[in-house]
Amino acid sequence: MCDSDDVMEISVPMDTDNCERYVDVIIVGAGLSGLTAAYHINKTDPGTSLCVLEANDRVGGRTLTVPLKTKNGTTDDFDLGGHWVGRSQTAIMELLDELGLETYTQRIDGTYLLQIGGDKITSYSSDTPSLPFLSLLDLKMFNNKIEKFRKTIDPAHPYECPNGEEWDKTSLETFLNQHLWTKAAKEYMRVIIRALSSMEPSQQSVLSLMASIAGSGGLEPMLEVTEDSAQGLKVKGGTQQISKILVDKVGSDRVLLNQLVERIVQNDNKVIVSCRNGLKVTGRRLILATPPAAVDKITFEPTLPVERREINKRYNFGDYIKTIVTYGEDFWTKKGLVGEVETSGGPSDVPGCDNGPITVTMDAMSHTGSPALVIFTAGKQARQWGQQQVDVRRNAVLQSLSTYFGKEALSPLDYCEKDWSKEEYIGGALASLGTGAMQYFEEGIGGNFMRVHFAGRETAVEWDGNMCGAVETGKRTALEVLEVLQ
């Protein structure tokens, strides 16, 4: 049946057969991007048959919400993956509104802590980090340059900017050394980049980060904690429920879990997908909403154009261990602290770990008022600490928290961590392009190759590092596919 060449002209109903299915649109990946695509297709044209194939045994991809013990013997939901949103992130805010999900604000009142380089901890309560005066001046000039540079970039065509070729060849580490003069400012920016992108500055090209900054409206909106920026709002009940609600809207019988897509064969009339466990699905169009590392593992017939193969190979996946620790009370607030620390990790006495296990912490109080802290271990720190036993890591995280916030940190109610580099089907936390990759960007990312349309956060033009980018690409590909089907 799969060899039939007449698929294009008919609307293909879903077959009940377990091993072979026929639909109009196949969507691979049940993260935010794939499920948003399914939702928009279903909403715009309910007559279009579709099926979502997900390798994992759950939906949500890089969003994951877990229940943790909280005060008074109850539990509350906390995010171990995608977490914050902001009003300027239009695509995700519109979707939250449509799905009836509410947001609440990130707490920011109090004093921030900073530990750059050695073990000294300093504090500040303005927008200006507690660095030496010369380093602040250095950072100010650096930020001005970034602001000037990012305005030269069209995020849809980054390689075409005046410095495109040069910045594609240059690593961020080289760029920091070229444009910053003081040791503390360089180390501070390394911590910020590690926390923001889950990888070291040496792993990404200048153009890759600069394009992200351009697509997010500047560095400040990416870093600030205001309602308009990327860290100002949280979703009541957690972000994974976005995907769960989308499944309800699309129909749970159309979202098939434990279906690892291994092969995609297409011709002028149809596209056929083969999953590891034997399921075959034939469709008229396919939306591939998987991360680049996953695309690289799928066999394509005919093979993908060289630009797409090159770019998928050149994405570096970063490392995040994200941890939530719940407490009986928010003792940090009572001490006048926001709960936020930016740190190179401080000293470590664990063999194999150059620094302590924390890159950044923030207050993670739930919307019902359950106190919690969220901890990111990022980049090289995540790789080194990821090799330790859970109890060694837990002990080190709690010890570090106690040096920042006091000995109460040693007595949590619950502790839960997720090492995203161990996610088999995703391949890591966030992906960025290494040097020499952006030359393939325009031809290699987004758009379509024959009947396959490329979605997923990495193909986004705006807010490409965020859930917003994933939602935007889901909507974009849904419209592309509906247009050609009609």
Ligand X SMILES: Cc1cc2nc3c(=O)[nH]c(=O)nc-3n(C[C@H](O)[C@H](O)[C@H](O)COP(=O)(O)OP(=O)(O)OC[C@H]3O[C@@H](n4cnc5c(N)ncnc54)[C@H](O)[C@@H]3O)c2cc1C
| CB-nearer residue toward ligand X: 193 or 289 | 289
Contact 260, 425 (CB under 8 A): yes
| CB-nearer residue toward ligand X: 14 or 136 | 14
Smallest separation (angstroms) from ligand X to the CB of 63: 5
User: CA 97, CA 82: separation in Å to the nearest integer?
Assistant: 18
Smallest separation (angstroms) from ligand X to the CB of 288: 9
| CB-nearer residue toward ligand X: 181 or 425 | 425
| CB-nearer residue toward ligand X: 131 or 281 | 281
Residue by residue, DSSP assigns 372-404 as: EEEEEEEHHHHHHHTTS-HHHHHHHHHHHHHHH
| CB-nearer residue toward ligand X: 167 or 463 | 463
What's the token pair of residue 60?
Answer: 């949500």
**Collapsed DSSP state (helix, strand, coil) of residue 313:** helix
Q: Is the peptide bond before 302 cis (omega within 30 degrees of 0)?
A: yes
Smallest separation (angstroms) from ligand X to the CB of 261: 4
Smallest separation (angstroms) from ligand X to the CB of 235: 10
Smallest separation (angstroms) from ligand X to the CB of 65: 12
Using CB under 6 A as the criterion, which residues of the chain lie in contact with ligand X when the complex forms? 28-34, 53-56, 61-63, 81-85, 260-261, 289-291, 294, 298, 320, 322, 420, 425-426, 429-430, 456-457, 466-468, 470
User: CA 380, CA 359: separation in Å to the nearest integer?
Assistant: 10
Residues 6+ apart with CB under 8 A from 327: 71, 371, 372, 373, 408, 409, 411, 412, 413
Smallest separation (angstroms) from ligand X to the CB of 377: 10
Smallest separation (angstroms) from ligand X to the CB of 290: 4
User: CA 364, CA 471: separation in Å to the nearest integer?
Assistant: 24
| CB-nearer residue toward ligand X: 164 or 474 | 474
Give the dihedral sign, CA 29/33/34/36. positive
| CB-nearer residue toward ligand X: 258 or 388 | 258
- Angle of helix 32-44 relative to helix 240-250, nearest 10 degrees, comes to 30
**Collapsed DSSP state (helix, strand, coil) of residue 419:** strand
